[in-house]
Amino acid sequence: MKMGCSFLQITGIPNEQDKMWTRISFLIFTFSVLIRDSVLVTGREEVLRISPPVPVVSVGATVELVCHTQCPNSQPNWEKTIDSAPGKITFHPLKAVLRIDKVLESYENDYKCTTKCRGKFYSKDVYLAVYSFPQNPSVELTSLNPVAGQTVTLRCSGQNLYPCHKVKVYWYQSHELLPDPEEPTVTMNDHLCNTVSHRNYTTTSKDRDLTFTCEIRLGLPTAEFQSKNSSLEIHLNSESVPTAPSLGPF
């Protein structure tokens, strides 16, 4: 009797190298899907983008806030964050446009854009800053017939300003900032305000022609709109300032 031997051959058990290549292939496939869809869901910044990113608009002007998304088949929308939300929303592929005509001071607020991407909700806020600065400051000399060596008084005023809580006034003499600026006087006129600043300056006997500049700053988030200035030239007479006669002993 012959006895035969049979061998059981086992196949299909992956070794460590096969496992490594499987993991690499899976990662490559996942990354390619993300690139194809152009969405890296790593945070709100990649899903929604608002332009302009720091909107600053003057009272009475028009502004458009545009919200873009990078998520395919997604439609952004603007949510109303204040009771009387102004403007009109128009929708375009992958973006929503909020247009506000004749901006008022009360429209200064946060505006929120939202969208849904891959089953998740995303939102992004933008703060609309509003300002009023219709004309340059007015600078005048309150001292009549100034004489070299005399203390002169200057006056600077600004009208219909907004915002009012950060109004600052700076004085310059020949482009040099004068120290110790005084707090300006601010008076309210509905939402707008007027401001007045006075500055005393003591001239020397050698002074003849002086130039003073008044700058008003509103404290806006962008420097382009935040300040305006005006200058005033003063011509001094060379006459000396009379002094009080000294009294001798009685």
Q: pLDDT at position 22, please? A: 61
Q: Which residue has the tokens 């109303």?
A: 80
Q: Cβ(110)–Cβ(127) under 8 Å?
A: yes
Q: pLDDT at position 25, please? A: 61
Give 20's Cβ-side CA count (13 Å radius). 3
- pLDDT per residue, tens digit, the chain (250 aa), is 444 444 444 445 556 666 566 666 655 544 444 444 433 343 444 799 999 999 999 999 999 999 999 898 899 999 866 555 678 999 999 999 999 999 999 899 999 999 999 889 999 999 999 999 999 999 999 888 888 888 999 999 999 999 998 899 999 998 899 987 778 899 998 889 999 999 999 888 888 889 999 999 998 877 666 789 999 998 888 765 554 444 444 3
Q: pLDDT at position 189, please? A: 87
Task: Give all domains of the chain, ordered by start, each with its CATH number.
Answer: 44-131 (2.60.40.10), 138-235 (2.60.40.10)
Q: pLDDT at position 13, please? A: 54
Q: pLDDT at position 115, please? A: 94
Q: Cβ(197)–Cβ(174) under 8 Å?
A: no
- Enter the tokens of residue 167: 């109004």
Q: Is 218 exposed, middle or buried (0-12, 13-18, 19+ CB in 10 A)?
A: buried
What is the distance between the alpha carbons of residues 130 and 187, in angstroms, rounded to a whole number?
A: 19
Q: pLDDT at position 206, please? A: 82
Q: pLDDT at position 219, please? A: 83
Q: pTM of this prediction?
A: 0.69
- Enter the tokens of residue 164: 């009012």
Q: pLDDT at position 27, please? A: 56
User: Which whole-number Å values give the CA distances from 242 to 62, 148, 214, 225, in the listed order?
Assistant: 59, 11, 30, 46
Q: pLDDT at position 244, please? A: 44
**In angstroms, how far is CA 125 from the centroid of its own chain?**
14
**Peptide bond before 184: cis, by omega within 30 degrees of 0?**
no
Q: pLDDT at position 14, please? A: 56
Q: Cβ(26)–Cβ(34) under 8 Å?
A: no
